[in-house]
């Protein structure tokens, strides 16, 4: 079988390695020569393309993994529209990594996949459009709504060492996360097995306040916990994009994923996930 991974970055390379191990021929679509080298490093073929401007000739594939983010403006994912139009046929398996941001602010409620989308930012509206496109393209597509992704080289180490403040949990909401290795494993599972639903929350199922996450990492690094600031001060110091994330609070349930797939998380406890990430990529002094 042929696996095509569009947007073959950190998660995509991990999926590519699994597809190669399963005996697939694998093509990873990337933008940079550095990313292409990583794709080739796991035994896959790299194809360098600018999804917005290049002529796309993608042919056919048995498994489509779409991990590329939308372009940065507008409410429609025009990038995805170009890619899907360049494919010769509908694959047997289609997997799209979306974002839990499509739910909008849920006031801290537990959220499962039956909750209607309520995208509030333009960024999230592009993701809602992408989900609609992928389902129109492939009725059996699997959409993975992921929260914050962490793992090796994806930790806020410099922020901690620079004593960058964070919003106090008393003024903030719930944060959700998934280790990148779990996300890649779930994506491969969704692209190689039959599942009962189109949409899954790809989260570790253990939401916390953001401060708990930062404090745990600070302890592991043997540095001071980050200073806290109020919402009023955050509005003066943080970017509009960062504030838009902080305004949204929800607790993601992964019950559907666990029941339908039987998947056992490698890092359902983010303490273990942080420790493994630091061990895999020790921070520079």
What pLDDT is recorded for position 280? Answer: 87
Cα–Cα distance measured from residue 98 to residue 3, given in angstroms and rounded to the nearest whole number? 19
Output phi, psi for 143, to 5 deg: -105, 125
Quickly count: other Cβ atoms within 10 Å of residue 112's Cβ.
15
Cα–Cα distance measured from residue 261 to residue 271, given in angstroms and rounded to the nearest whole number? 24
Cα–Cα distance measured from residue 20 to residue 96, given in angstroms and rounded to the nearest whole number? 19
Q: What is the pTM of this model?
A: 0.96
Token pair in block for residue 27: 């093509």
What pLDDT is recorded for position 33? Answer: 96
pLDDT tens-digit profile, the chain (285 residues): 999 999 999 999 999 999 999 999 999 999 999 999 999 999 999 999 999 999 998 999 999 999 999 999 999 999 999 999 999 999 999 999 999 999 999 999 999 999 999 999 999 999 999 999 999 999 999 999 999 999 999 999 999 999 999 999 999 999 999 999 999 999 999 999 999 999 999 999 999 999 999 999 999 999 999 999 999 999 999 999 999 999 999 999 999 999 999 999 999 999 999 999 999 875 444
The separation between CA 23 and the C-alpha centre of its own chain, rounded to angstroms, equals 25
Residue 229, beta-bridge partner list: 167
Quickly count: other Cβ atoms within 10 Å of residue 206's Cβ.
16
Q: Are 253 and 112 in contact (CB under 8 A)?
A: yes
Domains and CATH numbers, the chain: 2-150+177-207+251-269 (3.40.50.720)
Alpha helices in the chain (DSSP H): 10-21, 33-41, 78-85, 122-137, 157-161, 180-190, 210-221, 231-237, 240-246, 255-261, 270-280
Token pair in block for residue 202: 């790809």
């Amino acid at each position: 079988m042929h696996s095509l991974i569009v947007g073959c970055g950190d998660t995509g390379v991990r999926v590519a390695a699994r597809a190669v191990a399963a005996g697939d021929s694998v093509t990873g679509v990337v933008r940079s020569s550095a990313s292409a080298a990583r794709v080739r490093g796991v035994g896959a073929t790299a194809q360098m393309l600018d999804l917005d401007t290049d002529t796309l000739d993608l042919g056919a594939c048995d498994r489509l993994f779409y991990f590329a983010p939308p372009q940065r403006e507008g409410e429609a994912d025009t990038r995805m529209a170009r890619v899907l139009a360049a494919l010769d046929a509908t694959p047997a398996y289609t997997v799209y990594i979306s974002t839990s941001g499509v739910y909008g602010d849920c006031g801290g409620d537990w959220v499962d996949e039956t909750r209607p989308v309520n995208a509030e930012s333009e960024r999230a509206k592009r993701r809602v459009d992408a989900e609609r496109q992928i389902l129109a393209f492939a009725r059996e597509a699997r959409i993975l709504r992921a929260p914050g992704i962490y793992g090796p080289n994806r930790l806020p180490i410099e922020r901690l060492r620079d004593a960058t403040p964070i919003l106090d949990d008393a003024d903030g909401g719930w944060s959700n996360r998934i280790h990148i290795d779990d996300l890649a494993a779930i994506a491969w599972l969704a692209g190689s097995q039959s599942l009962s639903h189109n949409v899954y929350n790809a989260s570790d199922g253990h939401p916390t306040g953001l401060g708990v996450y930062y404090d745990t990492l600070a302890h592991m690094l043997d540095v001071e916990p980050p200073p806290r600031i109020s919402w009023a001060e955050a509005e003066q110091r943080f970017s509009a994009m960062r504030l838009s994330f902080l305004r949204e609070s929800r607790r993601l349930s992964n019950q559907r994923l666990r029941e339908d797939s039987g998947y056992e998380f490698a890092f359902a406890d983010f303490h273990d996930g942080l420790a493994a990430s630091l061990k895999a990529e020790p921070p520079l002094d």
